[in-house]
């Protein structure tokens, strides 16, 4: 049996323990929802205040040049590239994950319409995040493709039919925390003439990602989850350099033009990834995202992604063990894979009755996780700022909420708009 003292000893040995100080975490809160909205880095408020008061207030329009505003989507993109196995000049930080997915999927369909006109199917997973499926549905309808939704074990067989133009997957499943083998599935897609589009929303900053190594074609991801860029932070888009000068940007705005300040009436796409920009970018939000990257980049001195991943697996292993030891007999089932190679940075438990109310009761106790319909309790474990003692506390609160039936209280059973 694991004890609280074991957890404290793990914290004392943790090479990443000092990184917690980079974040503002409210007293009495155990934050297990950094996979949905990362916490506030301590440096962000002052940095954004400076962007407002000095860069905007004093510099005014000159700051597009003098404060580097114009370069921000590329500069922040290069910093993200280092966390996903991409090269410099291959990533831009811009727009939302939904919008970027629209752009990259559209580009992939255009390439395939030329190279493989007989392939008219887009494959994805039924359990993919809904916005990804909605975007794909709309695009497929507009462009004369068919979207086929599969269970993971059907992917190989469907690809083998040779009808798929694109395999569009989310690397780590938002609901279950299950992680795909990106290199293997990309190779499989390529063998059957399909392009591979990956959504890294629950991967970037959380698990090792090697887009170039996997030879993936396109990727998108999120800035407000494990990158701690703040609510609604810009997302990002990546394209493999072999497609970089070929793809068509469906939202061909002036920021993606080769020379936006020539103000010519004809669109001429910028070389490479820059053509993925559409219009004027949110400078204040990009500045906050830059601070989120400062925080995660600080982990490099203590081992970077290898150290983060090691701790993330230790945190999720510990939570699984504690939930099974201390909450046994309360009807919880583990949804997240035990196999490390197939696990993201979260643990999901299911319970046929009361999953929503249990999460509400935990939140009332300061343990913030979330509920995902219909029956999932989701706990994100972010190695940048969580302690092993936090995992202990979370499991203890879960045990108490279940043991005393506290979750049955009416206030925990009222549904809120955002779960």
Ligand X SMILES: *Cc1c(COP(=O)(O)O)cnc(C)c1O
Instruction: List the binding residues for pyridoxal 5'-phosphate.
Output: 97-98, 129-132, 170, 199, 202, 224, 254, 280
H or E element at residue 130: helix 130-143
Q: Which of 44, 63, 170, 203 binds ligand X (CB under 6 A)?
A: 170
**93-101, 302-310, 315-323, 389-397 -> range binding ligand X (CB under 6 A):** 93-101
Q: Is 301 left (phi over 0), alpha (psi -120 to 50) or beta?
A: alpha
Residue 267 bears catalytic tag: no
Cβ atoms of residues 152 and 106 within 8 Å: no
Query: Does 127 participate in binding ligand X (rule CB under 6 A)?
Result: no
Distances (CA, A) of 165 to 122, 191, 371: 6, 12, 34
Residue 385 bears catalytic tag: no
Q: How far is the CB of 264 from ligand X (least distance, A)?
A: 31
Is residue 64 helix, strand or coil?
A: helix
**CA gap 54, 48 in Å, rounded:** 10
Supply 3's token pair. 């004890």
With CA atoms as reference, report the closest residue to 90 among 81, 79, 101, 100.
81
Residue 311 bears catalytic tag: no
Q: How far is the CB of 130 from ligand X (least distance, A)?
A: 8
Residues between 175 and 234 with contacts to ligand X, criterion CB under 6 A: 199, 201-202, 222
Query: Does 293 participate in binding ligand X (rule CB under 6 A)?
Result: no
CB closer to ligand X out of 97 and 393: 97
256's CB contacts (< 8 A; 6+ apart) are: 249, 269, 270, 274, 275, 276, 277, 278
Query: Which of the residues 23, 224, 379, 381 is marked catalytic?
Result: 224
Residue 290 bears catalytic tag: no
Query: Does 174 participate in binding ligand X (rule CB under 6 A)?
Result: yes
Q: Which of 23, 31, 83, 129 binds ligand X (CB under 6 A)?
A: 129
Distances (CA, A) of 304 to 82, 102, 309: 11, 31, 9
Query: Which of the residues 14, 199, 217, 290 is marked catalytic?
Result: 199
Q: Which of 30, 44, 94, 97 binds ligand X (CB under 6 A)?
A: 97
How many residues touch ligand X (CB under 6 A)? 13
Residue 129 bears catalytic tag: yes
Cβ atoms of residues 169 and 120 within 8 Å: no
C-alpha 121 chain-centroid distance: 26
Q: How far is the CB of 87 from ligand X (least distance, A)?
A: 24
Q: Interface residues with ligand X (CB under 6 A)? A: 96-98, 129, 131-132, 170, 174, 199, 201-202, 222, 235
The residues annotated as belonging to the active site are 129, 199, 224-225, 378
């Amino acid at each position: 049996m694991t004890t609280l003292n074991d957890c404290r000893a793990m914290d004392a040995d943790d090479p990443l323990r000092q990184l917690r100080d980079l974040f503002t975490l409210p007293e009495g809160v155990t934050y297990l929802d950094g996979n949905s909205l990362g916490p506030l880095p301590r440096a962000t408020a002052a940095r954004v205040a400076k962007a407002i008061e000095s860069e905007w207030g004093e510099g005014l329009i000159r700051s597009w040049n003098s404060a580097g505003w114009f370069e921000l989507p590329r500069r922040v993109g290069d910093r993200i590239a280092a966390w996903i196995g991409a090269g410099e000049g291959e990533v831009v930080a811009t727009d939302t994950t939904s919008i970027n997915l629209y752009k990259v999927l559209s580009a992939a369909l255009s390439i395939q319409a030329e190279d493989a006109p007989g392939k008219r199917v887009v494959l994805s997973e039924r359990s993919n995040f809904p916005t990804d499926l909605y975007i794909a549905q709309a695009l497929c309808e507009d462009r004369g493709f068919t979207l086929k939704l599969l269970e993971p074990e059907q992917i190989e067989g469907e690809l083998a039919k040779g009808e798929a133009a694109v395999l569009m997957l989310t690397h780590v499943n938002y609901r279950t925390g299950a992680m795909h083998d990106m290199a293997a599935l990309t190779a499989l897609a390529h063998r059957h003439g399909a392009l591979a589009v990956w959504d890294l929303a629950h991967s970037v900053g959380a698990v090792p990602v090697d887009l170039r190594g996997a030879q993936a074609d396109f990727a998108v991801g999120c800035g407000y989850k494990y990158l701690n860029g703040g609510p609604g932070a810009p997302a990002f888009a990546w394209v493999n350099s072999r497609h970089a000068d070929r793809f068509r940007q469906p939202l061909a705005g002036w920021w993606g033009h080769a020379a936006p300040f020539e103000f010519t009436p004809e669109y001429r796409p910028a070389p490479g990834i820059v053509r993925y920009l559409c219009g004027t970018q949110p400078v204040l939000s990009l500045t906050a995202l830059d601070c989120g990257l400062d925080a995660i980049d600080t982990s490099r001195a203590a081992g970077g992604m290898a150290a983060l991943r090691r701790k993330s697996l230790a945190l999720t292993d510990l939570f699984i063990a504690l939930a099974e030891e201390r909450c046994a007999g309360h009807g919880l089932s583990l949804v997240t894979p035990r196999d490390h190679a197939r696990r993201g940075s979260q643990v999901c438990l299911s319970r046929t009755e009361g999953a929503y109310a249990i999460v509400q009761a935990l939140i009332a106790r300061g343990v913030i996780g979330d509920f995902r319909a219909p029956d999932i309790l989701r706990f994100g474990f972010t190695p940048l700022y969580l302690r092993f003692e936090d995992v202990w506390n979370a499991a203890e609160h879960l045990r108490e909420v279940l043991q005393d039936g506290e979750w049955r209280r009416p206030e925990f059973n009222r549904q809120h708009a955002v779960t």
